[in-house]
Amino acid sequence: TMARTMHAPSLPDRTIDAYTDVTGPDRLERLGSLADTLADDRILHINSTATGGGVAELLRSIVPLCNDLEIDTDWLVMDADDDFFEVTKAMHNALQGNSLPLTEAMKAIYRAVNEENAIELEDEDAYDLVVIHDPQPLGMLEHFEETMPEAAIVWRCHIDLTDPAPEYLAFVSEYTARVDHAIFSRSSYVGETAVPETSIIYPSIDPVTEKNRSLDAEAVADVSDRLDPLSFEDPLVTQISRFDPWKDQFGTLEAYRRASEDVSDLQLALVGGMAGDDPEGLELYEQVAEEATADPNVHVLTDLPDTGVNVLQRESDVVVQKSLREGFGLVVSEALWKRTPVVGSNVGGIPLQIVDGETGYLVDPDDAIGAGERVVDLLEDDGRRAKFGENAREHVRKQFLLPRQLVELLDVLADELD
């Protein structure tokens, strides 16, 4: 077998003190006492990409914050190639409801790359607990049973398992049956998955990052200049998503065209990137860009830095999230936190975040025209947008900020280590 060495992404500094403004003292105290409970444990998170997508976004905050709390926490990213990621992307798509073949060759690639990654960990000091994120690294469990038999294993599933393809669910369940505990983002995802014990934890956004912190007018003006000819003076609708069929950028384009019939000078920004573990992205990006070229008011933007994402979420009049499936959809809370109402599909984690008629509007995932009409309702009513924006900020403050998620996660880990 090949040697594959997982790598530890470089991490920003985080201190728990930075959260005192957004979190009550009770929760901070609770974090302190959980940290005491976990003080002698070594914890490892494993996922399959250091950049792009919500999981990397979450780990980039959770891992340094745990270390600031003096919980010894590592994050390692699998070493894999496109052959593996094509298999795991098929797995991801099938678990979210697409029916796709699962061949013996695909299973062999999945097992081999997982084994190659797991073997390299043998030299590591023993971990007391390993958190496996999503299905990609699950295959390592077979080896961990030999190399770290004492370690507790938690599977953190971030995807929408409402309607998984049975063949894939059966394959994944061979592994999930071995974990000690599984965490899902919604109770409806647990379904038929073979797991001994489950918790539901809603994800969260980190309010102190460059992506989510408040910005001064100068920073906004600077990004505005760079995005020219896009203009914050004219009405603007934005969707920010990886180029992925589940994000339905074509549906967003249709909603925009419908809204343009009623709102003159309307602009659409479709912002996207490619995640390291997602080989489909480029092709879809090219299709979306091609479809957008005919309309000078549609801006397809890639590789925007976090400040740019922040400014767009802040300055857009309405954010759209037209997903067909969505594990949670951090982008929704990111926009709501910046007081921008969101029109989104009623799927996955989106209805947890959009309170219909209060923080935005929910639409049927098939109904791009309806989404366009809801965008118009918001664009034509400044007062409603402002009111929804205030509601949105409060909704996220109460439910979707990092300290709340961290307490719930550490609670599960402490239980498993008990």
Binding region for ligand UDP (CB under 6 A)? 53-54, 57, 211, 240-242, 271-273, 304, 309, 328-331, 334
CB of 51 to ligand UDP, least distance (A): 9
Q: How far is the CB of 397 from ligand UDP (least distance, A)?
A: 18
Q: Cα separation of 160 and 189, whole Å?
A: 6
Q: 329 in the Ramachandran plot: left (φ > 0), alpha (ψ -120 to 50) or beta?
A: left
Total count of residues recorded for the chain:
418
Contacts of 369 (CB under 8 A, 6+ apart): 254, 255, 258
> Which residue, 24 or 305, has its beta carbon nearer to ligand UDP?
305
Rounded to a whole number of angstroms, the minimum distance from the CB of residue 150 to ligand UDP is 32
Which residue lies nearer to ligand UDP by CB, 235 or 329? 329
Q: Which is nearer to ligand UDP, 50 or 309 (CB)?
A: 309
Tell me 81's DSSP state: -
Min. distance of Cβ 200 from ligand UDP in angstroms? 16
Strand 298-302 with 360-363, pairing: unpaired
189 vs 328 by CB, closer to ligand UDP: 328
Contact in structure between 318 and 255 (CB atoms under 8 Å): no
Is 326 in contact with 160 (CB distance < 8 Å)?
Answer: yes
The one-character DSSP state at 408 is H
Burial string for 19-40 (b: 16+ CB within 10 Å, else e) reads beebbeeebeebbeebbebbee
Nearer to ligand UDP, 139 or 272 (CB): 272
Name the residue number minimizing CB distance to ligand UDP: 54
55 and 78 in contact (C-beta within 8 Å)? no
Give which of 380, 374, 377, 372 is closest to 253, Cα–Cα.
372
Q: What are phi and psi of 76, to 5 degrees?
A: -120, 140
Q: How far is the CB of 259 from ligand UDP (least distance, A)?
A: 22
Q: Which is nearer to ligand UDP, 95 or 309 (CB)?
A: 309
With respect to ligand UDP, which residue has the nearer C-beta, 148 or 312?
A: 312
The backbone torsions φ and ψ at residue 248, rounded to the nearest 5 degrees and listed phi first, read 55, 50
Candidates 129, 161, 126, 168; CA nearest to 147 is 126
Q: How far is the CB of 292 from ligand UDP (least distance, A)?
A: 15
Shortest distance (Å) from residue 151 CB to ligand UDP: 26
Write the CA distances from 354 to 36, 185, 344, 368, integer angstroms.
36, 15, 7, 17
CB of residue 25 vs ligand UDP: minimum separation in angstroms? 28
- The residue among 71 and 172 lying less far from ligand UDP, judged by its C-beta, is 172
